[in-house]
Amino acid sequence: MSFTELFTTFANNLLPILLIATAGYIVGKTFPIDSRSIGRIVFYIFSPLLVFNLLVTSDLNFIQAASTFGFTTVFIITMGLIAFLLGKIFQLERSHLLAVILTVGFGNTGNYGLPVVKYAFGDDALAVASIFFVATSVLFNTGGVIIASLGHSNLKSAILGLFKIPSLYGVALAILVKWTGFQIPIPVERTIEIAANGAVPSMIVLLGLELTKIEWSNNFRALSVGVATKLLIAPIIGLMIASMFGFQGFEKQANVIQAAMPAAVATTVVANEFRLESSLVTAIVFIGTILSPLTLTPLIVFLSR
């Protein structure tokens, strides 16, 4: 890999996304903006409509979609187990361990992963990446929310809290629409499309806003475990599992890149909602996002060959 190849790959595929996040960061530093309220808008409106739209409009066949869903599930469970083991090895406190598992398990596959895959590998790969994102959303809004809730509540309360997550209803409605062949009325279809199109830039701006609230504490050990596991171990695990599933071409490209994404900004929203070491979660997201071009750029070049 030459320096020119790496720089061009970074400039064309990652820099535009990072510039938008930087704009959000600058605005957040300049004006008193309530990012938590914006996060709730993203969490309760934009995200479920984006998930619904991706499911309804995807052209992937059932086998491809099921394979990607299976890959995502195996990958997230594997990363969660690795994070758990590393957390025990490094003797992390319970709340810190839960924060690390949450951020290591769930990557930024929407506002970061989707545009990166689109720019790097095209629309065919984007369709696969969309299924990965949907699968991540489903698992995040179930297992991820349970993990976050367990920091301050019991398992029963965490499970009951799932019914308050709009994205689950978005998935259920999308499956119903696809199964019945129901034609969505044009006004409703356009409303969903507008919201879905606004979801990604809103999430990227929210990422920048959230990064203004970094609260450094004595969590350097947990922070290091979270960032290193997500950026260094996750891509390797993604490549291994992709080989197990027999992925080739754009399927391999999309799934591995999504697996290599830094921690999701949605984890900061959920951490705030459930009071789960939000400073640690936000720091892992921040450091991971800043350092991610160092791992994503050579990975994109490698997968492009």
pLDDT per residue as tens digits for the range 27-52:
999 998 887 788 788 888 888 888 78
Per residue in 186-213, pLDDT (tens digit) is 999 999 999 988 887 888 888 788 778 7
Residue ranges per structural domain of the chain: 3-304
- Per-residue model confidence (pLDDT) at position 121: 92
- Output the pTM of the full model: 0.82
Coil, strand, or helix at residue 150?
A: coil
297 close to 6: Cβ distance less than 8 angstroms = yes
Task: Output the CA angle 242-199-99, nearest 5 degrees.
Answer: 60
pLDDT tens digit sequence for 248-291: 999 999 999 999 999 987 787 777 767 677 788 888 988 998 99
Contacts of 206 (CB under 8 A, 6+ apart): 24, 35, 38, 39, 42, 111, 265, 269
Helix H segments across 60-144?
Answer: 62-89, 94-105, 113-121, 123-139
Give whichever of 25-34, 128-137, 239-248 has the largest mean pLDDT: 239-248
CB 257 within 8 A of CB 292: no
pLDDT at 130: 84
Q: How sure is the predictor about 148, in pLDDT bands with cuts at 50, 70 and 90?
A: low
Q: Residue 158 pLDDT > 60, yes or no?
A: no
Q: Report which of residues 75 and 58 the model is more confident about.
A: 75
Question: Residue 282: which of 99, 123, 117, 127 has the closest Cα?
Answer: 99
* 84 compared with 33, residue with greater pLDDT: 84
Cα(106)–Cα(35) distance, integer angstroms: 21
Q: Is 262 helix (H, G, I), strand (E, B) or coil?
A: coil
pLDDT tier at 98, thresholds 50, 70, 90? confident
Is residue 218 very low, low, confident or very high in pLDDT (cuts 50, 70, 90)? low
Cα separation, 265 vs 278, in Å, equals: 11
End-to-end CA distance of the chain: 11
Overall average pLDDT of the 112-124 stretch = 87
Structure tokens at 233: 């171990």
Q: How far is the CA of 251 from the CAs of 41, 81, 303, in angstroms?
A: 32, 25, 11
Distance CA 249, CA 284 (A): 31
What are the φ/ψ torsions at residue 263 (nearest 5 degrees)? Answer: -60, 145
CA angle 266, 9, 296 (to 5 degrees): 40
What is the DSSP code (8-state) at residue 276? S
Which one of 3.20.20.70, 1.20.1530.20, 1.10.10.60, 2.60.40.10 gives the CATH number of domain 3-304? 1.20.1530.20
Q: Kindly report the average pLDDT of the chain as a whole number.
A: 86
DSSP assignment, residue 44? I
Residue 79 identity: M
Q: Could you tell me the two tokens for 251?
A: 């399927």
Q: Is the pLDDT of residue 141 over 80?
A: no
CA 176, chain centre distance (Å): 25
What pLDDT, on the 0 to 100 scale, is given for residue 216?
65
Specify the range with the lowest mean pLDDT, choosing from 24-38, 72-86, 162-176: 162-176
Token pair in block for residue 301: 């070049």
pLDDT at 229: 97
Contacts of 37 (CB under 8 A, 6+ apart): none
Burial annotation 212-223 (CB, 10 A radius, 16+ → b, else e):
bbeeeeebeebb
Q: How far apart are CA 283 and CA 231, in angstroms?
A: 14
pLDDT at residue 154 above 60? no
Q: Which of 165-169, 179-183, 293-297 has the lowest mean pLDDT?
A: 165-169
Higher pLDDT, 267 or 24: 24
